[in-house]
Structure 1
Amino acid sequence: MNTKLVNTVTDILKFEINQGRKAILQPLIDYIQGKSTDGLDININFICTHNSRRSHLSQVWAKIAAAYYQIPRVFCYSGGTEETAMFPKIAETFEKAGIEVITISEGSNPVYALKYDKNALPIIGFSKTYDAAFNPQSNFAAVMTCSQADGGCPFIAGAEKRVPITFEDPKVSDNTDQQDQVYNLRSLEIASEMFYVFSQIK
């Protein structure tokens, strides 16, 4: 990790996770621990409505947390109930955190390579439906990161476990002077919970 990202992780680790949120995160911890103990691949698909904000933040920070705590065979994905685009402010928020953002293709649904370490395989970020061919079709945990997707998708085909871990949408700050602050805070909040999850894996 570069110095900027190391400093961001230092800030992430200072966040306090309250007992209520720890209880919400426990089913995901149990799923990861079970797979890790059995020496199996750990596939996690983070799902929200548009695959534009919270699901990307969750996917990327979960992968970085797994690498930080040296939990092997963790594969993180994201998807939506519909395909839109990764919101540009998310890519900007990643860059501010110290993640290298490389644009692979532009257009209405840009594709990004997100690198958290110069020798690590990049995370590919773009909007897609949760059941798109890019994502796992079976043997994965479906983590519902928004209440709309959680309520609208009671059944996720192929998921071994469905875990609602919902976050407030930073979209509420769009077109306001609070946008940068809100996106950064939501990123750190999601990151802190993903780091907590992987810190619990033995």
Structure 2
Amino acid sequence: MNQNVYQSIKNTISELNSNTISEDRKKVLQQLVDYIQEKVVAKKEVKINFICTHNSRRSHLSQIWAQTIANYLGFKNVVTYSGGTEATAMFPKVPETLTNQGFKIQIIFEGTNPVYAIKFHDNSHPIIGFSKKYDDEFNPSSEFVAVLTCSSADVGCPFIAGAEKRIPITYEDPKLFDGTNQQAEKYQERSLQIATEMLYIFSEIKK
């Protein structure tokens, strides 16, 4: 195990419990386990593009946690991406939530669609976070798996050019709680759910 992440993130990961994942949910996650395992056995790069409608919340959380957990468990040949069916902006509560869970995040470009540098370790290459379409030039054009993190993107993207596989792993949108006194709690809850499932997925991979 590499564990090349900030101690604050290790603390967050140490509190995750894969036993909270139901057997039915594990069957959903197994598709991604199988895809990653095939790539690892073949000694090929694992490219995962997490896709949601607006690339503003769930797809970013999935991309960032998947990259971090892969690094934490010593998988060096994993690169994660995210995109939407349209570009909007990363919702500010996402970087705020991740900062509270141990990440170091800075804005490297301000504007209507800010660009964030997200680090899980001082010596790691930062994850560049901003909203973009799933087929943006920033993302891979072939030999990747498309993971649909919301049901509307799942329905709206029946075909994703270049994807070797298309897997729906959907999450409830924390946007439903924007402007309520449960907002911070629900963003933290969704982030930790995604982190738990990414930890489960990569823990199932045999090197």
For this structure pair, what is the TM-score category when the shorter chain's length is used for normalisation? over 0.9
Match of 1:166 in 2: 170
Find the partner of 1:83 among 87, 92, 97. Answer: 87
The answer as to 2:105 corresponding to 1:101 is yes
Match of 2:52 in 1: 48
TM-score under structure 1 normalisation? 0.98
**In 2, Cα distance between equivalents of 1:15 and 1:99:** 25
1:150 deviation in Å?
A: 0.1
Match of 1:146 in 2: 150
Find the partner of 1:182 among 174, 182, 186. Answer: 186
Kept in 2, the 8 Å contact 1:15–1:192? The answer is: no
1:14 deviation in Å?
A: 5.8
**In 1, Cα distance between equivalents of 2:39 and 2:178:** 39
- Percent identity of the aligned residues? 57
TM-score under structure 2 normalisation? 0.96
- The number of equivalent residue pairs is 202
Kept in 2, the 8 Å contact 1:15–1:189? The answer is: no
**In 2, Cα distance between equivalents of 1:39 and 1:115:** 26
Unaligned runs of 5+ in 2: none
Amino acid at match of 2:93: K
Match of 2:62 in 1: 58
Match of 2:114 in 1: 110
1:71 deviation in Å?
A: 1.4
1:15 deviation in Å?
A: 5.6
1:83 deviation in Å?
A: 0.2
Q: Secondary structure at the match of 1:171?
A: helix
Q: Secondary structure at the match of 1:113?
A: strand
Q: Secondary structure at the match of 1:160?
A: strand
